[in-house]
Each structure stands twice: as C-alpha cells, then as structure tokens.
Copies of this chain bind each other. A is one copy, B any other.
Amino acid sequence: MTIETLLDAVRFNDDGLIAAIAQADGTNEVLMLAWMNRDALRETLETGRVCYWSRSRKGLWRKGETSGQVQHLVEARLDCDGDAVLLLVNQKGVACHTGRRSCFYRAMRPEGFVDTSAPEISQEALYGR
C-alpha cells in the first residue's frame, strides 16, 4: 500500500479539491475547514505537517508558514463517500487568522451573531502587520 493508492480512493471535486476539517486531537475542538488538492493531501500524509490548497492564492498553503501556528497531523480519516477528510491535529497556538483557537466562533442566535471565543493573540503578533 502506497500513499498514491490511498489518494486514488479520494473523490476530489471538479476543481480537484476535497474539503478538510481540522480537529484538535484530545479536546476534539473543530478548528477550521479548508481545502486540499491531491498534492496537499499527499504532502500532509508524507510529512505529517498539514498542508492545504489556498483557493485565493491558488497555491499550496503550509499552515503556519507565515503565522507559525502549524498543525501536526495525528491521523487523517476519509469519510464514507470519499469527498471529505477529517484531520486530527496537534495545533500549535491558534488556528484562526483572527487569533482565536477556532474559526467557528460566530454563533447564529436569535439576537444576532455572538462570539463564542475571544482572540488569544493579536493579528499583529501573528502576521506582523
């Protein structure tokens, strides 16, 4: 069994991408959802460091390459129909560009959006701007 055989089972969409959910190993907190192409998933499985595909920059996005907030892969789990992957990760620091641990912090409530967490680090500290 090679990584290519594993990758052959993945059903990438018409854009060559698969949705990837990053979940914190241990706490099970869902950190973010991003996208991977075959190269990104291969690199992630080979190196153990999570690499996504940036749809905006149209390039491989090694999580943390700018911010230092890297994700180390514990296990990747493909879903039943092969078009989504769950990444159990050890997240260094925070996953969200806003400085929050998780990107999913905007609770949709009758009174409007309510933040469920606060930034743990400033964007300036993350990105130097």
| Interface residues, chain A, with chain B CB atoms under 8 Å away | 1, 5-6, 9, 19, 21, 23, 27-30, 32-33, 45, 75-81, 84-86, 96-98, 100, 103-113, 116
* Separation of A107 and B25 alpha carbons in the complex (Å): 14
* Separation of A28 and B73 alpha carbons in the complex (Å): 18
Asked if A6 and B97 sit within 8 Å, CB to CB, the answer is no
Tell me the dominant secondary structure on chain A's binding face: strand
List 20 additional contacts besides A77-B106, A78-B104, A80-B106; criterion CB under 8 Å: A1-B111, A6-B108, A19-B19, A21-B21, A21-B33, A23-B30, A28-B30, A30-B30, A33-B84, A45-B108, A77-B104, A77-B107, A77-B108, A78-B108, A79-B103, A80-B105, A84-B103, A84-B104, A85-B104, A86-B104
Which residues of B are found within 8 Å of A86, using beta-carbon distances?
30, 104
Asked if B113 and A33 sit within 8 Å, CB to CB, the answer is no
Could you give 22 example pairs across A and B, Cβ below 8 Å?
A: A6-B108, A6-B113, A21-B33, A23-B30, A28-B29, A28-B30, A33-B79, A33-B84, A45-B108, A75-B107, A75-B108, A75-B109, A76-B108, A77-B104, A77-B108, A77-B116, A78-B104, A80-B97, A80-B103, A84-B103, A84-B104, A85-B108
